[in-house]
Amino acid sequence: MQYNNTNMIVIGGSNANNIDKNLIKLLNAKGANLVHKRFPDGEQYVRIEDSLAGKTVVIVQSLYPNQDSALMELLLILEAVQALKPARVITVVPYLAYARQDKRFLTGEPISVRVVLEALNLYTKDTLITIDIHKPESLKYFKGTSMNIIPVKSIANALRRDINGLEKRDVVVIAPDKGAFRRAELLAKELGDVDYDYLEKFRDRHTGEVIHKLKEVNVRGRIAILVDDIISTGGTIAKAAKMLYDEGAREVIAACSHGLFVDNALNKLAGSKITKVYSTNTVPQPSGVRVVDVSTEIAERIKEVVKS
């Protein structure tokens, strides 16, 4: 049965990366016209040209690239939306920037993720949906209902083509550190209960060198799928891939939720003999990356929110 929501309006900011358009189709909703301009001095201006009174409004804005300007645009949209008296507002932030600064590592630092989430709170205490935030606990700073989607269903669907026809024992999912272990576990389950493990970091007390060791699983002769939340410079994944090849992995594939690929990250990954790189479309992807669309997982979550 086709899902029909005539009462739902989807607004995409400049960083919606087409997820807004996909949601309009998947949810059978309507789009709204958002004017976005810059004044000569660089300040942003937005205007929503549709009536939102009594509607369920879904706003889509990723906070990468141009994190600061994307956040400001989202705040302007939220303020404008509230003034148009919608029945409810579901804010979809596929990539939530500043999430890695989730504590005061050193005295005098800010908790940056708190600043972002509390800023959103100024204009909405309704529902926030994000994809694979660095630490889900950070969502406590958002005072409405928040949901974190770890997009393993979408990533697994894409990866199935690569492992099609292989035996279960030929595939293993590896997290590059303990913090990413849960994601590896979820992906391994989606891939039909294949083995999973994480790399432990040790520092050589004499040389200071960081050494990675597999916790339990043997990767010899197997296809290792390295999975992380973010690939930024590619350093973490490149190092992990080298270690897996040293341990005898037949092939290493990398997959992440947010492929930022700054500097020469993709060259670094190619240099470490990673054969394929997957990222979702929470942020725009350069060529060479296999793009996984997360719109369906977001749409499913929105349907649940609206039903509840």
94 or 234: whose CB is closer to ligand R5P?
Answer: 234
Q: Does residue 178 carry a catalytic annotation?
A: no
Q: In angstroms, give the least distance from the CB of 115 to ligand R5P.
A: 19
Q: What is the DSSP string of 27-72?
A: HT-EE--EEEEE-TTS-EEEEE-S--TT-EEEEE----SSHHHHHH
Q: In angstroms, give the least distance from the CB of 43 to ligand R5P.
A: 31
Q: In angstroms, give the least distance from the CB of 267 to ligand R5P.
A: 13
Residue 64 to residue 230: CA distance in whole angstroms: 12
Residue 242 to residue 214: CA distance in whole angstroms: 12
Q: Using the structure block, give the residue that is written with the tokens 């509230």.
A: 82
Q: Which amino acid is at 281?
A: N
Q: In angstroms, give the least distance from the CB of 232 to ligand R5P.
A: 3
Which residues would be at the binding site for ligand R5P (CB under 6 A)? 176, 179-180, 228-236
128 or 230: whose CB is closer to ligand R5P?
Answer: 230
Q: What is the dihedral of CA 248, 266, 148, 10, to 10 degrees?
A: -150
Q: Using the structure block, give the residue that is written with the tokens 């997959």.
A: 255
Q: Which residues are catalytic?
A: 201
